[in-house]
Structure 1
Amino acid sequence: MNVEPRSPLPAGEVWERLDMRRALAARDLGTVFRLLQKHGTSQRTIAALTGMSSSEVYEVLRGRRVMAYEVLCRVADGFGVPRGYLGLAYDNDTASWLDQNLVPAQTRTDHEDDARGHALLAYAAEVTVGTAGELSSEWSTVPSAATPLPGQVGPEDVEQAEAVTAQLRHLDYRFGGGACRDAVSAHARWVDKLCDLPSRPATGTRLRVAAADVHNLAGWTAFDVGLYNVAGRHLALALDFARQAKVPSLTANVLYRAGRVYLHRKRVSEALRFFQLGQLAAQDSGSRRTVAMLCANIAWTYAEMGDEAQAITHLNRAADEFSRAEDADSEPWVQFFHELDVMALEGMTRLAMARTNEVYATPARQALERSVAERTDKMARSLAFEQGALATACLLTHDSQAALEFGELALDQAHRLRSRRVTDRLAPLQELALDCPDRGARGDEVRDLGRRIEQVLLP
């Protein structure tokens, strides 16, 4: 059978043409594909590289809009184009290029503005009287334009940056990183630009704290959706800004988050090292709350490594440090860490040890029951983590009914939240549920839960 060879890939400079970059930035795949065809790339090659069928490519060429994040990523990755060109994951160079080269609205002539004003008024009239058709291509995309920067950064600019970061942090806690990561990344770029502007020394220092905080959050949200390399970049920037600002408690918090990235990926030796470095910075800061947070995470890591003695030692120290923490000891980046989190980390630590020593299963369950009982929807992701862990502990204590109850709640949260981590953390429950020894009706339901979790875990 003869196989038609693919047409050659477009030369690299094709992607740098202004018309191509505008089409990519607008996610106008129809124009992108037509420009590729103009430069010799066949429809068949486009389909093969993007994972689309030929009919789907044809529909896009005929005007169908593609908004699905996964498809846009396949297009970028298939052609080897930086995802930032499509606004999916900007790096600084891409963001700068778009800001400088996409035509901003203020460069239009008065005549162009008048013409567009009349056209918009005409379309508004059609919508009002019910005669409007589909929105024309002229209005269907919004051109990118750089937001004007202040001439000098003042305290009010920093206050606004801090307030936006605080709101984004609440969204992350409640809905998961996927609900706000793009907004956090955009805000981080804005704060980076402010850092390049003149300011008074005190304002400049406070601004660098704000920059460290938002990059810390950007790294956390990237981690939450499984973008580990992106997370690492943001966390490195956060460390640098925290160093410039000389705020050791923030440095410790960034190191804690870096440790959690590696702990989640089962790279426990590296996770432990990050947590230990964070503990040193936390001790320098004098923040007992931060020291408690690092000690609790070190305990969990030692439990994952099978070192029960060190795990218990660090759990005890975490509880002691937290009991002596003061209310004033709560900078924005560590305000989330409360008594419930100490309980939850005790539960996670004892649950990790229960895998090899069942004596820890009941204490793990008790700690997790306390944390789950007091969580609210404002910390929905933490609640989901703890419900899944509690269901696992219930299986280890041979309570199928309770395991089913909390497992169903955790699975429901996994469907609701925009968080890859929540899904990943259901894996231990899935394994135990599939092997549930209960031969009764409840056991059948638990095994069915395991199969449904398995479907969620599939890549």
Structure 2
Amino acid sequence: MASPSQASRARPAHPNLAFRRLRGSRSPGEFATAVRKAAREIGEHVSCDARYIGRVEAGEIRCPNYAYERVFLHMFPGLTLTDLGFTARENVRGRGRLTAAGAPGAGRPAPPSQPCCPFDGGRSRNDSDIDSDIDEESDVLRRAFMTSGSATVAAASLGLGFASGSVPAQRRVGEAEVAAVEDAVRRIRLLDDRHGADGLYRQAAQPLRAAYALLDAGTWSRRSTSDRLHAGAGELAVSVGWLAHDSGRFDDARSHYAEALATARVAGDPALEAHAFCNTSFLARDAGRYREAVRTAQAGRHAARQVGSPRLLSLLALREAGGWAGLGDRTDCEQSLARAHTYFEQGPAPDDPEWMSFFAEPELQALQAQCWAALGDFARAARHARRAAMLQDHRFTRNLALYRAELAGDLARAGAPDEAAAVGEQVLQLLGDVRSSRIRTMLADTARVLVPHRRAEGVAAFLNHHAATSHSA
């Protein structure tokens, strides 16, 4: 008998007629343009195109992710997701899908230790609602791949493992395989947003190997397929590199970023090249190689000028500012921050890379906080970090924990130990859901700074709680 998860994968898609009616006489491309415009009106960024609209109307996307949900509800005030033809989120992924005989709470235990997806660190379906946060396209892609002639390659690209241990020589690569790689990138990013990198890095290595195996062994009928696969593999390398970076594996991260950069150069992809340099700069700053951080950010800026994205140039200016701050060069740091603000204020653009959806006002504030902290101006750093934490969407748990950890450290060094302890307690509460060595290291540094202030209000309780949590982690 098929398991509940297998049964859900086999379920055919039903056309979303309600959504099609709302599009009216507009073409899918025209409607996608309206969606992007509505997103900008509320400060969201979605990479909506005609293909995405087609997938929604075909019923392949049963429930939009949170960003699209906010945009659609803004476009059609007074309507619910159900009115728009979508399925309730809890019924698409996670607990809501474990129904009938195998459902928890239905008289039988949940399936033992079956991961909800290849990147969840082995957590079982009834352990969390993580599935409800995964990109809405995951299920339909898996269904398509498992029934296609390229099932072995597709399963590998999704991290489900190779049936024979390798990709067959001269495997023809088409839409299914390329979409699998692109989907793996989105899912890794979404899971990292909510749960941090520590539990994801090992699992994410498999789809990365699969993507590069496809590049080595595949043949393509169209140049566009080759370009998309190179871009997807490179973005996957950057994403896996970030998981290594955030979990403290700096040498692994450096290797993955270099792999992405090489892929960008081979493919002549300036957007991917800028992304690889951007992350390399961030890594160099964290590793204390500040001059390298400056140089790689500047190299990324050179590539980014071909992309047409002011927000990308803004982020690269912030990376450069971080390098200058690490070198103690306040003048060049302030100049880079000024450039970052100038570019940021130009707003989103149609050519903004998809991966930059995280770069909004909270991240701008947080990166400024890091610069001022590196320059020793902790009171100013705390003001920016506080704003970042206040503005951050609470659904993105990892960044919320990160910004609060930054704030706690800045407050501790700015002479506000009681406030630092209170914010530190908030971070400890979030660490039950977030697994990030980076955040834990930041909090440990804050605890060390607070030790001489144990008598301040709340500090002793925080230190004891932190010590207990550290021992149990």
TM-score range, shorter chain: 0.5 to 0.7
| One-letter identity of the residue aligned with 1:176 | G
| One-letter identity of the residue aligned with 1:201 | R
Residue 375 of structure 1: how far off its partner (Å): 1.8
- 1:296 equivalent in alignment to 2:318: yes
Residue 406 of structure 1: how far off its partner (Å): 0.9
- 1:198 equivalent in alignment to 2:239: no
1:387 touches 1:406 (CA, 8 Å); kept in 2?
yes
- 1:238 equivalent in alignment to 2:260: yes
* Distance (Å, rounded) in 1 between the aligned partners of 2:455 and 2:395: 38
* Distance (Å, rounded) in 1 between the aligned partners of 2:383 and 2:413: 12
Residues 16-68 of structure 1: per-residue CA shift (max 9 Å, x gap) = xxxxxxxxxxxxxxxxxxxxxxxxxxxxxxxxxxxxxxxxxxxxxxxxxxx9x
- 1:156 equivalent in alignment to 2:173: no
2:361 touches 2:391 (CA, 8 Å); kept in 1?
no
Provide structure 2 residue ranges, at least 5 long, that are not aligned to the other structure.
1-112, 114-151, 153-160
- 1:329 equivalent in alignment to 2:351: yes
Which residue matches 2:110?
A: none
Greater per-residue helix proportion: 1
User: What's the secondary structure of 2:358's corresponding residue?
Assistant: coil
Residue 289 of structure 1: how far off its partner (Å): 1.2
1:242 to 1:378, Cα distance in 2 relative to 1, 3 A: farther
User: What's the secondary structure of 2:218's corresponding residue?
Assistant: coil
1:373 to 1:256, Cα distance in 2 relative to 1, 3 A: same
1:425 to 1:440, Cα distance in 2 relative to 1, 3 A: closer
Which residue matches 2:386?
A: 369
Which residue matches 1:401?
A: 418
Residue 453 of structure 1: how far off its partner (Å): 8.0
Which residue matches 1:430?
A: 447
User: What's the secondary structure of 2:172's corresponding residue?
Assistant: coil
TM-score where L is the length of structure 2? 0.60
* Distance (Å, rounded) in 2 between the aligned partners of 1:427 and 1:286: 40
Which residue matches 1:3?
A: none
2:317 touches 2:340 (CA, 8 Å); kept in 1?
yes
| One-letter identity of the residue aligned with 1:166 | R
Which residue matches 1:392?
A: 409
Which residue matches 1:251?
A: 273
1:391 to 1:256, Cα distance in 2 relative to 1, 3 A: same
1:198 to 1:422, Cα distance in 2 relative to 1, 3 A: same
Which residue matches 2:92?
A: none
1:433 touches 1:449 (CA, 8 Å); kept in 2?
no
* Distance (Å, rounded) in 2 between the aligned partners of 1:234 and 1:171: 19
Residue 279 of structure 1: how far off its partner (Å): 2.1
Aligned 1:283-322 pairs, distance under 5 A: 283-322=305-344
Q: RMSD in angstroms over aligned alpha carbons?
A: 2.9
* Distance (Å, rounded) in 2 between the aligned partners of 1:222 and 1:307: 29
Counterpart selection for 2:434 from 402, 406, 417 = 417
Percent identical pairs in the alignment equals: 25
Which residue matches 1:262?
A: 284
1:249 touches 1:290 (CA, 8 Å); kept in 2?
no
* Distance (Å, rounded) in 1 between the aligned partners of 2:267 and 2:167: 26
Residue 187 of structure 1: how far off its partner (Å): 0.7
1:389 touches 1:429 (CA, 8 Å); kept in 2?
no
Provide structure 1 residue ranges, at least 5 long, that are not aligned to the other structure.
1-66, 68-105, 107-141
1:206 touches 1:245 (CA, 8 Å); kept in 2?
no
Residue 254 of structure 1: how far off its partner (Å): 0.8
Residue 448 of structure 1: how far off its partner (Å): 4.5
* Distance (Å, rounded) in 2 between the aligned partners of 1:187 and 1:291: 30
Size of the aligned set, in residue pairs, is 312
Residue 332 of structure 1: how far off its partner (Å): 2.2
1:153 touches 1:198 (CA, 8 Å); kept in 2?
yes
**Greater gyration radius:** 1
User: What's the secondary structure of 1:376's corresponding residue?
Assistant: coil
Residue 155 of structure 1: how far off its partner (Å): 2.7
Residue 245 of structure 1: how far off its partner (Å): 2.1
1:143 to 1:168, Cα distance in 2 relative to 1, 3 A: closer
1:454 to 1:268, Cα distance in 2 relative to 1, 3 A: farther
* Distance (Å, rounded) in 2 between the aligned partners of 1:439 and 1:176: 33
